[in-house]
Chain A
């Protein structure tokens, strides 16, 4: 029960220090390739979308790991592999020392209730034909859980916990707003007393004003119930207040992972720098100027990713070595323990403004040049 005692104050103090807690979930070399079929008249495999290609992650007990990256880089796929909604092509998923990589539904049963998921779209994640009560009750029925005082009582407690009126037990999802629906989704995930929740962009479909409320709710849940989170988001701003550790993904690979302080203040991978510079400035009183980096182009296709370092097509520091040799995810010199970076030529560990902005977008550059002349 010790992990339950993680208090907000403690969480603040662990800020920056590498997490030393017991490992809950360990992912090694996780790979998912979606086959592409084509050809006429007989269909055969003509290629594969390398959605996730060798991802290593660890989530400690009660810890929140943020998983960040651009759209299409394989974050959702990673989350779905961990919750075993998808069958991995390769790699290993270990939960509390138990290998669940290819476990079937029945074998998974004991672990099932401990790994839950919160979904992105509050409109499609609740069955419109079921009452809120039966939606939240359903996981308990499936797993044969009979809490003291009955399932209905537990559901009412959960509704209250997530900030909804317990009297709404018999309401239908269409009678709730997006934020409220997302709370119902949170209540459903909590119904089984999970130890790990995979939250796939839980707030990105919500109005900005409601995002903060839901994040606060998740934060409360995490602190008070000691639940570990894998929090998926597409920018670093949302994760900032939520995750003790952050992993940055690019095109199916983790390119940098570390504690929050390291990632936000001492990033080494060029892609992390680019992502950070895209985070809107919040602190106006900040003296130092932040660096500006604007990437050009889109993420390359995961069907035929670039050789060597996958970021090289958009990297301003790329050299020949980057095309031939894939950089390993290691702790490079100058990094704190647990801060791993996959880059041959890492950036300086700072986010201060550099002499010249990195503007790789030709259109944007032309625009700014002409503006500068006037």
Chain B
């Protein structure tokens, strides 16, 4: 009944009304027609944060190293599997002395072996580290992504639909939270592996990876689910959700268009905290002997090995240790910066 043309006609009448164009209301309409989205504002704030930028650089650097591990080892001419100390091919270039300790200074640092070699076997530490980082980072990325997706789905469903659904999802979350996770990682890893692979046979590496993924995933999604649920509960109460309902939007559309964009921020912040802690957990699993095993290069395994060698060759733990400390520190600082940049108080 009200035709668009009608609306158009009356439009000019209203717009021209002098009191509507009062200065107080129009003063804010400065130049620049493109609005700055909350995301853009966040990016601008983040760019001003020096620590955040540096840490982001470092984190990216680590990921690039992990990604380029084959290229880097091609340049250094080493690989993480060859036993440079025992392989007769390399007998002309001895790296270990008769006690199995690296020759030369600082764990055998040389032009061939940039970070030195491993005692006993003589494997190249540089190659083991970059490949180890590759394993850890990609595992962690996989786990953190799975956790996030699961947590977001469960939190969204519980928070949006509420009532009985929320109650039971909450109980399930509590149930999983009640596991002492570190102990269960250690206890469950062999169980999960044995479930799929005959214990008498050799477990393939990809399978170990899968088992780690499953265990960390099943025991790790609860934090994200709780966070998402609480955010959804808050967003759901806001009037724009009701406005969408009044316009007839389906629950799927409301979740997709109205709620999801509003939980991206806390999820992203949580993700940046989740990733380094997952790396540490995976390293812990390998360290405890239930994660990756010989000869798969892995960050955590380097620590397990380094702990054995500390008496004779303290230099061995140096490079993996420093790398891990720098990485975790920067990642956590990055998480703080991301959170600060998203902080709603600093910009409306």
Contact = CB atoms under 8 A, between A and B. Distances in A.
Do A and B pair up? The answer is yes
Given A4-B1, A176-B28, A127 B261 contact: yes
Interface string A84-113: 010000000000000000000100110011
Given A85-B242, A172-B35, A161 B14 contact: yes
Nearest to B250: A105
A353 B20 CA distance: 38
Contacts of A125: 238-240, 242-243
A221 B34 CA distance: 28
Nearest to A115: B246
Interface in A210-241: 210, 212-213, 216-217, 220-221, 224-227
A138 interface: yes
B261 A130 contact: yes
Nearest to A193: B2
Interface in A164-191: 165, 167-172, 174-177, 179-180, 185, 188, 190
A175 B240 CA distance: 17
Contacts of A163: 14-15, 17, 20-21
B29 A124 contact: no
Contacts, number: 163
B239 A180 contact: no
A225 B7 contact: yes
A142 B12 CA distance: 28
Nearest to A135: B240
Nearest to A129: B261
A342 B20 CA distance: 40
A138 B250 contact: no
A119 B14 CA distance: 21
B247 A129 contact: no
Interface string A114-147: 0111011100111111111001001100110001
B2 A160 contact: no
A195 interface: yes
B164 to A, nearest CB: 12
A27 interface: no
A220 B246 contact: no
Interface string B248-261: 11100100011001
A163 B28 CA distance: 14
A118 to B, nearest CB: 9
Given A117-B242, A124-B240, A128-B38, A210 B20 contact: no
Contacts of B240: 124-127, 135
A124 B258 CA distance: 12
A108 B20 contact: no
Contact of B13 (A116, A135, A220, A227): A220
Interface string B222-248: 000000000000000011101111111
B25 A177 contact: yes
A167 B33 contact: yes
Contacts of B33: 167-171
A193 B6 CA distance: 11
B interface, over-half SS: helix
Contact of A4 (B6, B17, B258): B6
A362 to B, nearest CB: 38
B342 to A, nearest CB: 12
A138 B257 contact: yes
B248 A224 contact: no
B116 to A, nearest CB: 51
Given A139-B247, A172-B37, A192-B247, A124 B239 contact: yes
B88 interface: no
A116 B22 contact: no
A83 interface: yes
Contacts of B89: none
A70 interface: no
A175 B36 contact: yes
Contact of B10 (A115, A121, A128, A224): A224
Nearest to B247: A139
A142 B248 CA distance: 7
Given A143-B247, A170-B33, A216-B19, 19 more contacts: A4-B2, A119-B239, A119-B242, A125-B243, A127-B240, A129-B262, A130-B261, A142-B249, A142-B253, A149-B4, A157-B8, A157-B11, A168-B29, A168-B35, A175-B36, A180-B25, A216-B20, A217-B14, A227-B2
8 contacts: A4-B1, A4-B2, A105-B250, A142-B244, A172-B37, A177-B24, A180-B28, A224-B6
Question: 4 closest Cβ contacts across the A-B interface?
Answer: A171-B35, A139-B247, A129-B261, A161-B11
